[in-house]
Chains A and B, each alone.
Chain A
């Protein structure tokens, strides 16, 4: 008979073990302990600050002295339903959708290439290649587009021999910049989505007589769709609230610019009320995304 030795230390008998023993039949308390930190943090820090901000939306501010007038009123909410705000909201939604669709379309070929065509070494290199630009400062990237699209910038310089002109600044520029900045956020989940599809499914489809395109359309695409929705959460919501890119390459006002503009003009309560618009939109989008399986795509 051999003596079995192990290098795992013998069970301690101290208070830690007694506590573990006490907790073992009490999963509710264990769960509570686990969730207390994160949920507590999010509720207090995040929801709490959102609530305080929305509380401010019920007040008004004296335009001259900047002092808050603590008289509850629904005036700000009435204001955001009229004036330029509905059209600003619509404009922003259209832009966010356009950017999301473009990112999705661009991510499909490169994601597929990375997952199924590239060799493993190339695949690793490509993942690194896609992630590294995320480390380049957002501000510097946006600013570089300002230089690229400038009147005497590289795009016009390249198109000049063809007699063409670049889009210059404006809404097209905003669409280009947003697509550029958020593209890696779409490529990565799409790549992961393609990677997860087992070869067996594709072989089965081929066995059943499906040609490449049919297999792609009826087997691959539905399977990668949740991943695309997951990626779209970023492209949509990040476009929705951004004010720096539009201000840098256009004169157009999107909802983020409107919020920031009101804040900058000292009318914080109105800015707070206006922030309900992207808040509601993003919440709705997240709920839809969950329904479409984005969160279980992991």
Chain B
């Protein structure tokens, strides 16, 4: 359908305005990362690179960053395995309760974080598991499963089971089929799902607060820094870095999959 000229123009303007809306606060974070004043006021009083130096030297920040990386990797690994298994089951088999699985898997991410956090925290302490790195990973993995699952199942549904049948016809057993046919087919969808899972885990704050014990992930470090006077500019620098670092993996992901897959696989 060829959209008419005025409609295209109107849509272009709308898109620009909406993108502006999305990026205004991001731009502000950038500006405040350079703000010379200790407390952020508008307009900024001056520009300095001082906070970058402080951020780089801040061992708490470095530690928190590495912890978040480790947590996100762990959670993503678990989510990849569980999400892939579930998606294969739902896409390739017919069974009672099949539709319910899609609902079930999304529940951890749809339920408010505070409820999930409180539930996990109470359970861990009443069962006797100390809060720490492992409990954070368990919590994150639980709500990351759906992100892998959705991308995987979209791909599996799109490609149908005929390739796997052909592979079996040619004499391959299940493991071989999985390794040489199914997995390569799913690979980029799994990557997209893993990327989304990683991003979510990296930035998650509410469930993490309840399950962290004394461990400091980056969001917890940021949360605590907002409560300490004069730490806010360093936090803005951390935010700036996070945004800049994210551009590359996101770009890579969009190249590896069709963009509508990475977009549609969110739910």
What residues of chain A have their CB less than 8 Å away from a CB belonging to chain B?
Answer: 8, 11, 16-17, 20-21, 23-24, 27, 30-31, 34-35, 37-39, 41-42, 45-46, 48-50, 52-53, 56, 106, 109-110, 112-117, 123-124, 126-141, 143-145, 147-148, 150, 152-154, 157, 180, 183-185, 188-189, 191-193, 195-196, 199, 202-203, 205-206, 212, 215, 227, 230-231, 233-234, 237-238, 240-244, 256, 259-260, 263, 268, 271-272, 275, 278-279, 282-283, 285-287, 290, 294-295, 297-298
Contacts and interface: CB of A to CB of B under 8 A. Distances in A.
B3 A20 contact: no
Contact of B118 (A185, A233, A263): A263
B186 interface: no
A53 B122 contact: yes
Contacts of A53: 115, 118-119, 122-123
Contact of A41 (B82, B115, B120, B235): B82
Contact of B108 (A30, A46, A131, A152): A46
Given A117-B8, A140-B235, A56 B122 contact: yes
Closest 5 pairs between A and B when the two form their complex, measured CB to CB = A241-B112, A192-B264, A135-B246, A20-B173, A202-B1
B26 A136 contact: yes
Interface residues of B, number: 106
Given A145-B25, A212-B7, A278-B111, A157 B42 contact: yes
Given A34-B88, A275-B114, A135 B250 contact: yes
Nearest to A33: B85
B219 A234 contact: no
Nearest to B246: A135
Contact of A195 (B171, B174, B260): B260
Contacts of A133: 22-23, 26, 243
A184 B111 contact: no
B247 A128 contact: yes
B267 to A, nearest CB: 4
B123 A286 contact: no
Contacts of B259: 123-124, 127, 191, 195
Interface string B1-34: 1011001101110110011011111101100100
B38 interface: no
A131 B259 CA distance: 11
Contacts of A113: 11-12, 14-15
A127 B123 contact: no
B264 A297 contact: yes
A52 to B, nearest CB: 5
B22 A130 contact: yes
Nearest to A112: B11
